[in-house]
Chain A
Amino acid sequence: MRGRTLLGVAVAVVIGGYLTTRFVSHGYFYFASYVILQYIMLATAWNILGGYTGYVNFGSAAFFAVGAYTSIVLIKAFKAYFIFLALAGGLASALLGLGIGYLTLRLRGVFFSIATLALAVVLQTAVINWGYVGGARGIYILRARSVPFFSSYTEFLFFMMVVFAVLSVAAAWWIENSWVGRGLAAIRDNEEAAECMGVPTLKLKLFATTVSGFFMGLAGAPFPYYVTYVEPSSAFNLDYAVNSLAMPMIGGTTSWAGPVVGAILLGAAQQIATVTISSAWNLLIVGVVLVAFVILAPEGLVGLALRLARKRGA
């Protein structure tokens, strides 16, 4: 029943997204929403590994950039269709997740995090020296002038991001509510105990890194079309790593709703700050809010809301 209702909501959001493109002609709405949707995906993907499994990934930017650069290669080599780019970007990033998972998941806690941080540095250096995708010089990707069913490419990008974001949240919901999620939670709470109880920890962790990687890559794949000029420092921007970690922390890491709430709140706050405060202050937002939440509401907004609701119910 619950699954069906959620499916209904998901379909409604996608249809709502499409209808939005029929009625809203503001480019700003699409670009601002695009950024927020992108962060919903990144935060949700991060949470699959970081929140459910307890493995903190500092290298989100690397997964994001792999998605973006896979797109660039396919656009350059085959002028591939958008949907292929997106899938390929996701798959490349998923493979990276699998590989990294296999190599590093034997590392625990902070050592795993350091390895993911190093991954971003290594990949960025590789891209800087890879002339085909523009290298350090960057590369221009031109958007198509028109797309069928949409009045501009921006609206098309926005709609695709709605679909992708819904997919990623649905995946997170499924993981959370299936035996996989329970297995991941067992790993988070006590990996040795889980292993002893017969939880296939390595397989589950590899599953988590792969799925997490896939959605980060999927979030990055449309980036070249969004920004039209990609160079390594913007694709590997620290923002992606910081935000994809901060958003679930603020929203709450234990449920699928947490990263979504965190991404919408923090993403919107950043968008608003950019066009209102216009000073160094807006850079402080993530930091201050994150510190405040870690201290005041370690379970995030969703955790806080549930706790309050439970108290009232009791």
Chain B
Amino acid sequence: MKRTGRFWIGGWMLTAWLAAAALLSGPWAPPAQAAEKPIKIGFGMALTGGLAANGKAALLSMQIWAEDVNAKGGLLGRKVDLVVYDDQTKPASVPAIYTKLLDVDKVDFVVSGYGTNLIAPAMPIVMERGLVFMGLFGLAVNEKFKYPGYFQIMPAGPEPALDWTRGFFEIAAQQKPKPQTVALVGADAEFAINAVAGARENAKKMGLKIVYDKTYPPATVDYTPIARAIKATNPDVVFVGSYPPDSVGMVQAAHEVGLKPKLFGGGMVGLQYAAFLTKLGPKLNGIVNYDFWVPEPTLNFPGIEAFLKKYQVKAAKAGVDPLGHYLPPWSYAYLEVLGQAVTATKSTDQKKVAGYIRSHEFTTIIGKVKFGSNGEWATSRVLQIQFQGIKDSKLDQFHRPGKRIVVYPEQWKSGKIQYPYSSAK
């Protein structure tokens, strides 16, 4: 009996497998469709796992885009449908999701999920089929793939790793007297390592002497020993490349040990989110950090205010980032680019749409977007902002201009830098 039992299971498994294969190989003839079938845009998004907080916010703004477009009659007279699967912030789940979207759901376009790790695994699939692929906040994904159909919305610029930190060091170089020494510190993980590598090169270019250059494990809990070690080298500039939890840890540790360089910040992810802005409050004053959009008058692009209003109402209900200044406008914008290209070419042909995106400038809620040959922004628009005049931890103040002043680049500047760091408190 025992033996037959096992064989039975084996046979059953084989049959099930063949059945599944047969089912999938069958004619997947699409049902007879009217010309008005919706345009489907598919993607995986981190709705659970490490990047879920941002992923959910991104999805919300993408849904707002679809609503806005559909309210105006859709694209090419067809309704827009978003097809989304949760990638669980796991790169290994991405290939299956994108092939499902393309082979089973028959989406017309795919766009990327959030972040480098989750964009890269979709690239070979997209490339095999020659699809246009909008990327959301990937850092230098296309460097190896060199795929002409890839366009990435984060404004890091043509040399992402270098451009990201250039502003911070140019600010340092403009100060008088010019700072002489720099400490570089970052998390031992993908983005931070890239950011610190870029910072290292920029520091050398600006002729700064590197007095501290170390990474820490991503799971670090106590940052005071790091802050103390940096303080011991007495640097003029401290560049930090960090992820949300460690950004908070570093700022708090710096205050605790009295680390007072002349310039502090650079590449700290997380200091753009409402949760951390309100958590750190006045401790943020004086920090100069990267950002992509802040509610300053120089960056008041048409449509952004209306978008944020809609977003903030929905965000309160959905329990995601209530400000929505960091990722949401960009996840709206990358669909805007795709939508505008579809409308302009009057086509869903991948090659035509990709060709149009490559050769045209787009007007979106985050300003004018033009892509360069590697699919990154033709010119960098990484801002450096300085936190100024924060008196308490209330969220309201961050809705308005005046708390996060753009100090770089010149084109978007909205105020003067308070220098040195300690004078801004």
- A residues touching B (Cβ–Cβ < 8 Å)? 2, 5, 9, 12-13, 16, 20, 23-33, 35, 125, 128-129, 135-138, 140, 142-143, 152-154, 223, 226-229, 231, 233-234, 237, 239, 255, 257, 260-261, 264, 271, 274-275, 278-280, 282-283, 302, 305-306, 309-310, 313
Contact = CB atoms under 8 A, between A and B. Distances in A.
A277 B16 CA distance: 23
B103 interface: yes
Nearest to A314: B1
B90 A237 contact: yes
Nearest first, the 3 A-B pairs at minimum CB distance are A229-B120, A27-B99, A28-B99
10 contacts: A9-B10, A20-B21, A28-B103, A138-B116, A257-B9, A274-B88, A279-B86, A282-B86, A305-B9, A313-B1
B104 interface: yes
B99 A26 contact: yes
Contacts of B7: 5
Main secondary structure of the interface of A (DSSP, over half): helix
B376 to A, nearest CB: 16
Nearest to A240: B92
A16 B10 CA distance: 14
B6 A28 contact: no
Nearest to B161: A137
B180 to A, nearest CB: 29
B25 A26 contact: yes
Given A35-B96, A229-B91, A2 B120 contact: no
Contact of B188 (A30, A129, A228): A129
Contacts of A280: 47-48
A31 B99 contact: yes
Interface stretch (B32-40, B123-131, B201-209, B385-393): B123-131
B20 interface: yes
A13 B21 CA distance: 13
A237 B92 contact: yes
Nearest to B102: A27
Contacts of B94: 227
B9 A229 contact: no
Contacts of A2: 3
Contact of A128 (B5, B120, B188): B188
Contacts of A31: 95-96, 99
Given A25-B25, A28-B102, A140-B144, 6 more contacts: A23-B21, A24-B25, A27-B103, A228-B121, A306-B5, A313-B1
Of the listed residues B104, B124, B143, the one surrounded by the most CB atoms of chain A closer than 10 A to its CB is B124
Nearest to B86: A278
B5 A309 contact: yes
B116 to A, nearest CB: 8
B188 A28 contact: no
A274 B86 contact: yes
Nearest to B215: A136
Interface stretch (B189-197, B337-345, B415-423): B189-197
A278 to B, nearest CB: 5
Contacts of A234: 90-92, 117
Contacts of A278: 47, 84-86
A264 B13 contact: yes
B217 interface: yes
B100 interface: yes
A279 B47 contact: yes
B232 interface: no
B97 interface: yes
A223 B94 CA distance: 13
B229 interface: no
B410 to A, nearest CB: 32
Interface string B13-44: 11011101100110000000000000000000
Interface in B137-155: 143-145
Contacts of B47: 278-280
Contacts of A137: 190, 193-194
Contacts of A261: 9, 13
A228 B94 CA distance: 11
B2 interface: yes
Contacts of B91: 227, 229, 231, 234
Contacts of A33: 17
Contact of B92 (A227, A275, A309): A227
A136 B193 contact: yes
A53 B47 CA distance: 39
Nearest to B48: A280
B93 interface: yes
B35 to A, nearest CB: 26
B29 to A, nearest CB: 14
A143 B124 contact: yes
B96 A260 contact: no
Contact of B96 (A12, A28, A128, A306): A28
B24 A24 contact: yes
Contacts of A20: 18, 21
Contacts of A226: 92, 95
Nearest to A2: B3
B90 A16 contact: no
Nearest to A38: B92
B92 A30 contact: no
Contacts of A23: 21, 25
Contacts of B87: 274
